[in-house]
Structures are given as structure tokens and as C-alpha cells.
Structure 1
Amino acid sequence: MKKLYIFFLLCSILTACKKDVINQTVTDPKAGLQKISEVYALGISTKVELWAEKDLTTGHNQLFVTLYDSVSNQPITKALVKILPVMDMEMNGMYMSHSTPCLQPESSEVENTLFPFAVVFTMPGNTDQSKWSFDVTIKRDGQNKIGTAKLAVAVGASSPERVKMLTTTQGEKLVVSYYFPNPPKIGINDLEVIIYRQQDKMSFLSVDNFLLVMRPEMPAMGHGSPNNINPVHTKNGYYKGKVNFTMTGDWRINLDLVNAEQKNTIFFDLSF
């Protein structure tokens, strides 16, 4: 009887341990993401992978870089990572390049093996005549060498359009885009508006001095919606607010960009 009791006790312990192992299963941080590109950064023994939530299109895109030691294949958890988006274009035998707004990784330490960053693509690029790439600069923790990698990416056109280029009344060239952290639905939705100013072809600066006035409407139905919260600046050119969609269909979000010197108005159309 005593032996039988010990047997059942051991079975219970093993079963409990097995449940603990199952409960401790670690979710892959890249689950739900798709790999866009990968390449090796020469000179620093590092593999660079680019991941995204979905196919890249014009407008705001959330992306992630993962780094692996190319010898041990272990994730690199600490490094300085800088990304420069570059559009290379050929027109009538002439070659030119320009960049686009890019929110750099905010920390040198990974978030669950990922270095998050964001890009606002101003135009599509997926042909030999117009193509996007990322120039990635990496300095691993504890190393003096700096590695570089070029990741080719294809960017399609968003429809409806999610980014606008605006020349203000003061002559500034702005890039304005919007982003829903969650898919739009009937009711109150979080909305982010991103505003950057073009300094030159390769440099864009975040803009933090606009007062945004948002006016959603359904042009075909002849009405707007109540209880909207105008986006206000948080950091890095991001303005956060809330928009109320009272029904599904075709919506237009009108935005007034106001500061002490000027007022400019744009709009974005969307359907859901």
C-alpha cells in the first residue's frame, strides 16, 4: 500500500511539472510578423533581419530589426542601430536619391529580441527604376567596429492614400501621415497623426508645434460624428487623439494644422 501511495505521488509530481513546462512556453516575439529581408553586416559577424506587421505600403509602417551573431546564431540584445531609408530613382537616364521620415529605435537594448522603429514611405517603390532600401548602421555592445548592411524592400501604394506631402503657406515641405494602432471599428478609435518637415533630400525633422483640429465626416451621407478628441503632440512628431466612427462606410478625416504663423488643411479618405 505504501509503495502504491509513493507511485501515485510521483505521478502527481511529474504531471504538475509537465504542466509547469507547458505554462512556461515562451511565445515567439516574431509571431504574427513577416520577414521582409535579411542580410549580413560584414566585418562584425552579424546577421540582420527586417520584420514587419504586414506588406509595406506608402504611409506609416511599423517595422522591427533583429540581430544575430553569425557564428553562434544567438540573438544580439544590445547594440546601437541606425536606419536610413533610401529611394533610388532613374528618370530619363538621370539618377537621384532621397530619404523619407524614419523614427529610429529609441533604445540600444532590444524589446524581446526586437529593435522597433517606424518609417513613413512617401512613394511606392518596387521596380528597377524606383526602389527602396534601408542602410543600417550597427555598433554592437562591447565592440569598436561599426558594421553596415543594405536591406532591399518593396513598397506598394496604399489605397486610400495614407500619406500627404504638403507645402505650407510659409514654404515648408511637410510629410503628414496617419496610423490606427488597432483596425478601425464603429465607435471611438485611437488615432495617431505623424508630421515631419523635410530639411533636405536625405533629412527629415519631427514637427511638434502644430495645433491639430480634426473634423471627421461622411461626404456621401452628409454628416460628421461627435465626441472626437483632437490629436495632441506626444513626442517625435506623433500626435495622438481619438476619432468616432458612427457607422461603417466611406469616411473623410479633415485636419487643420495650425500654429502661430499659419493654418493649413488636408484630408485623408478611408473605408472600413
Structure 2
Amino acid sequence: MKIFNLLLGVVLATVVTSCTLEKTDYEAELSEVATDEYVFEQAFLLTSNGYQISVEVLNGTFYKGYNEIHLFITDENNETVQNATVTFLPIRLDANEDAYSCPHAYEVGYQADNQYYLGYAVFDEVSNTNATWEFYLTVTIANETFTLQHGVTVASQPNLNLNMTSFTGNNGVQYYIALIAPVSPGVSENELIAGIYQYNEPQVPIGNFPDPTQFSFSEVQGATLLLDPRMPEPSMGNHSSPNNEDLTQGSDGLYYGVVNYTMTGNWTLNFIFQNEGGAVIKGTEVPTDFTPGITGEKSELHIDILF
């Protein structure tokens, strides 16, 4: 009996140690990709007509998903140019020279408090050997207009809390949902922020390339994103959590809700996307059954995250 108890103690100690090590490694892995620090760094610098345009993004890297973009424009005296008119168009060209874009702010507005022009791009594809992304900027200062072009590399997003999805609604419209926050969630109720965008079919014939009328996107107005977070792993039984709040649009055009993560691990954000009139455009209800040992069902519209 003493030998049995001793062996049992060794086994339990080994299991506990193993779990502890796995958890420690897991947290270390997450800390490499999830950070609360927003450090905008220069991605590239352009010079034209006596002006410099510094383009900054988070960590100096463009990622698949939502990217906030800051443009600093200075003149020959290194003075900030505050009254420029700036348009921004990201274009992706594939091996067949077919061109398409992604959700973006075409007109980039000046932010006086921060002294930069603020824009965004929601890249839906990473760069590869068969397709490249190009930025087209048009700048007008004191009735002088000049156009700049610069290639950029779009990397995979290592932080799944900033994941995205794109889909065609049952109305035939192409939509995009990109997670913006939380960057590093906690085991608690977290404010969930997302951008929801749609592609606008061209209404006029094609003009000179790159013609912005052929690559038009806009924020979806007045929609509701019903939220049902689940842990789909077989060991978790596809359980949900209390006190979640559906996402509705804020005054800045983004969508805000609350997601309650009750533990770390793999979560699926199941959505039902409703238009302004309450009609379902995409998404299905997830059964509420607790299903241990079985991979949980997901809505046809969902985003997987990990923290």
C-alpha cells in the first residue's frame, strides 16, 4: 500500500508539473504576439515635390486585418502641413495582373491634436510571390497635386484576437468583419470592438487605372452583430459565458459590444449579422447543448480567437 501511494504521488506530481509547464509555455507564447503597447513606427518614407510623407503603422508592420495608418506630411522646413487633401488607395495585383482592393479610408482626414492624417486599411490577404500590394497616394497642397506609389508587404496577423473574416451575404453583397480590440483580453468582461465594411459595386464605367470608383468600400451603417462566444474544444463542451453584449455601431462608425471570457484558451465568436431593418444577412444559431467530448458547432459566420 505504501508503494502504491508513493507511485500515485509521483504520478500526480508529474501531471501537475506537466500541466504547469504547458501553461507557462502557453502564456509565454501568447506574450510574444499579444501586447497592450501601441507603438506606431515608420513603415516607409516618401519624398516628392519638396514634401516628405512618413507612413506609420503599429510596430511598423502591415498585417492581415485592421491597420490604423498615420501619415505625417512635412515641408522643406520640416514644418507640418495641416491643410493637404489626401486620398489613399491600396491595390493588390496578382500574377494575372488582376487588381482588387480591400476596405480602406479613401479620404484621409487631418487630426489636429496629433498632427497626422488618419486612415485605415483592412487587408484581407497577405503578400506572397504571386500577389503584391501597392499604395497609391494622391496629395494636393496649395493647388499642387502629386501622386505617389509604393509597394508594401502585408504579413500574417500573429495575434488571433485581431482576426478577421470576409463573406458574401444572402443579399449578394461582399462584407468584411475585422476585430480591433481587445488586443490582449483578460479573464473578464472585455469590450469587443470590430469594423464592419462592405464592397460597393461600381456604378460608372472603368476609368484610368487605378480608378477609385472601381475599388469603393464603406462602413456598414446601423447593423447589429449578435454575439454568442463558445469554447468549441471537445474538452470544453462548447460552453458559453454570461453577460455578453451584441455589437452595435458607435459614433465613430465602429461596432462595440462585450465578450466575457471565463477562462483562457480557444474561443469562437459566433455571429448573426443583421442589417438596419433586423433582417439576417449571414449567420446561424448555435445549439445550446453542452457537448463534452464533441467538437462544438459553429455559426456559419464566426471568428476564432485564442488567448
The answer to whether TM tops 0.5 is yes
Residue 154 of structure 1 corresponds to 153
Are 2:249 and 2:255, in contact at CA under 8 Å, matched by a contact in 1? Answer: yes
TM-score, length-normalised on structure 1? 0.78
What is the CA–CA distance in structure 2 between the aligned matches of 1:157 and 1:133, rounded to whole Å? 17
Q: Deviations over 1:68-116 (max 9, x none)?
A: 11x21222233222211111211xxx21111111135663344422222
Select 1:262's aligned residue among 271, 280, 284: 280
Paired with 1:126 and 1:48, the residues of 2 have a C-alpha distance of 26
What is the RMSD computed on CA atoms of the aligned residues? 2.1
Structure 2 length normalisation: TM-score?
A: 0.70
Match of 2:216 in 1: 203
Determine which structure has the larger strand proportion and give its number: 1
Cα contact 2:88–2:108 (8 A) shared by 1: no
Q: Which moved more, 1:242-251 or 1:196-205?
A: 196-205
| Distance in 1 between residues matched to 2:168 and 2:90, nearest whole Å | 22
| Corresponding position: 1:47 with 2:52 | yes
Judging changes above 3 Å, is the alpha-carbon distance between structure 1 residues 98 and 263 closer, same or farther for their aligned structure 2 residues?
closer
Q: For 1:268, give the aligned amino acid.
A: I
Partner residue, 1:96: 98
* Aligned-residue offset at 1:255: 0.9
In the alignment, what sits opposite 2:187? 186
Structure 1 segment 1-272 matched on structure 2, within 5 A: 32-41=39-48, 43=49, 45-54=50-59, 55-69=61-75, 71-90=76-95, 94-104=96-106, 107-127=109-129, 129-140=130-141, 143-159=142-158, 160=160, 162-180=163-181, 182-200=183-201, 202-220=215-233, 221-222=236-237, 223-235=239-251, 237-259=253-275, 260=277, 261-265=279-283, 266-272=301-307
Contact preservation (8 Å) 2:84, 2:139? yes
Give the count of matched residue pairs.
233
SS, match of residue 95 in structure 1: coil
CA offset digits 1:2-61 (Å, max 9, x no partner): xxxxxxxxxxxxxxxxxxxxxxxxxxxxx93221111123x3x21111111132211111
After TM superposition, give the deviation of residue 237 of structure 1 in Å. 4.8
The aligned amino acid for 2:53 is: V
Give the percent of matched residue pairs that are identical in Structure 1 and Structure 2. 25
Check conservation: 2:272, 2:280, Cα contact below 8 A.
no
Q: Which runs of 5+ in 2 are unaligned?
A: 1-37, 202-213, 284-300
For residues 251 and 109 of structure 1, the distance between their equivalents in structure 2, rounded to whole angstroms, comes to: 36
2:42 counterpart letter in structure 1: K
Task: Return the alpha-carbon distance in structure 2 between the equivalents of residues 176 and 122 of structure 1.
Answer: 10
Q: Which has the higher helix share?
A: 2
Shift of 1:166: 0.8
> CA shift at 1:205, angstroms?
2.1
2 CA distance for matches of 1:249 and 1:151?
Answer: 39
Per-residue displacement from partner, 1:184-223 (whole Å, max 9, x unpaired)?
Answer: 2221212122221112451112211322110111112121
Q: Is the 8 A contact 1:48 1:149 kept in 2?
A: no
